[in-house]
Amino acid sequence: MEKKQNELKPIGDLLPKLLKEYKLDIPLKIMKLKTEWPQVVGEKIASFSYVQHYNQSILYIGVLNSVWMQHLFIQKKSLILKINDFLGGTFVYDLCFKRSGIKKNISSSTIQPVEEDKKMEYDSSIKDYVLSSQTIAKIKKDTETIISPLRKQWRNILVLQEKKKQVLLQEGKKTCPICGNWLENKEKICLLCQLKKRSEYKSAIRQCLQLMPWLSLDEFVEQGHIPKGCENYIELYREVRRDCIYHYMEKIYLNVDTLEDNMMLALFITQSKPYEITDEFIERLTKKYHMRNNKNKNKKKR
């Protein structure tokens, strides 16, 4: 007996086909790609990169820093093949690398446990510490305006914080002169302030190199462009130069570049002055990136 055409089928048999037909399976595939990223690209690459999101056949990948961005940019073609092989089809035509901090998973084995007896001793020191009458009076004065039900609780919190502060100071701990956070051993300023300073130094160096991209490191130093207080200027100079080169390369690759962008890329790469390079040289330099972009566009049209 022939089966009726309108015979009902189990939803489990129809679901995969419907998802594929209406492209509803792509988000599921991308989610799986995110969770299994180390298996797709390898543990080394996964340690400094992760999948951010997917949009219009472009996969956006967060990368720890510009050095690794350049490393992945070189491997882009092979990465696309690996990713599409994992996804089971040609879903990704291009990769866009974005500089982004990565929250590393810290295994329990890397965390140093606090010994119970030391912790109890430390807690006891804080509890037994006696604040001066002036400090207690100041805390009471600072909390006078707080409504009655919360005033006592807030005073207790401030007292405990002040006791902890005094105990840590007695143990030789120091606070960051900028923000007041507690410092680790031998630190002059805390990590957050270090990162902020680093960002400020890089911004100053970037402004200088954007105006004079031909400056070599020696010229940069001789002309007095080192930001005040910057000790690791050599590292930051090189990092900023790499960032700028990658920035203009990416604009060309994504076909959103201008003639000025092409000129800047040529100046950064060659460290030549504008009058020392020709239009023909700039065109040859950027042509290969435009060709790659056109190839990807043709693939999408197919």
> Cα dist. 295→43, 93, 278 in Å?
30, 10, 27
Taking the C-alpha atoms of residue 273 and residue 52, their distance in angstroms, rounded to an integer, is 38
Per-residue confidence (pLDDT) for residue 115, from 0 to 100: 44
Strand arrangement of the beta sheet that strand 94-99 belongs to: 49-55, 58-63, 94-99
> Cα dist. 10→17, 20, 28 in Å?
12, 17, 21
Taking residue 190's Cβ as centre, other Cβ atoms within 10 Å add up to: 19
List the alpha helices (DSSP H) in 75-181.
76-87, 116-128, 133-142, 148-170
On whether the CB atoms of residues 274 and 211 are closer than 8 A, the answer is no
The domain covering 14-99 belongs, at the CATH homologous superfamily level, to DnaA, N-terminal domain (3.30.300.180)
Torsion angle (degrees, nearest 10) of CA 244, 247, 249, 254: -170
On whether the CB atoms of residues 33 and 40 are closer than 8 A, the answer is yes
Domain(s) of CATH 3.30.300.180: residues in the chain: 14-99
Per-residue confidence (pLDDT) for residue 107, from 0 to 100: 39
Per-residue confidence (pLDDT) for residue 18, from 0 to 100: 46
Taking the C-alpha atoms of residue 271 and residue 249, their distance in angstroms, rounded to an integer, is 16
With a CB cutoff of 8 Å and minimum separation 6, the contacts of 251 are 257, 261
User: Along the 302 residues of the chain, how does pLDDT read in single tens digits?
Assistant: 444 444 544 444 544 554 555 455 677 788 889 989 999 999 888 888 999 888 878 898 988 877 788 788 888 888 999 998 998 888 888 888 888 765 444 333 333 444 444 555 556 677 788 888 898 898 888 888 887 777 888 888 888 888 888 888 888 888 888 887 778 777 788 877 888 888 899 999 999 999 999 999 999 999 999 999 898 899 999 989 988 988 888 888 778 889 999 999 999 999 999 999 999 988 888 887 676 655 555 555 55
Per-residue confidence (pLDDT) for residue 241, from 0 to 100: 92
- Its pTM stands at 0.50
- Vertex 236, ends 230 and 239: CA angle to 5°? 170
DSSP letter at 110? Answer: G
Taking the C-alpha atoms of residue 18 and residue 25, their distance in angstroms, rounded to an integer, is 9
First to last CA, the chain: 43
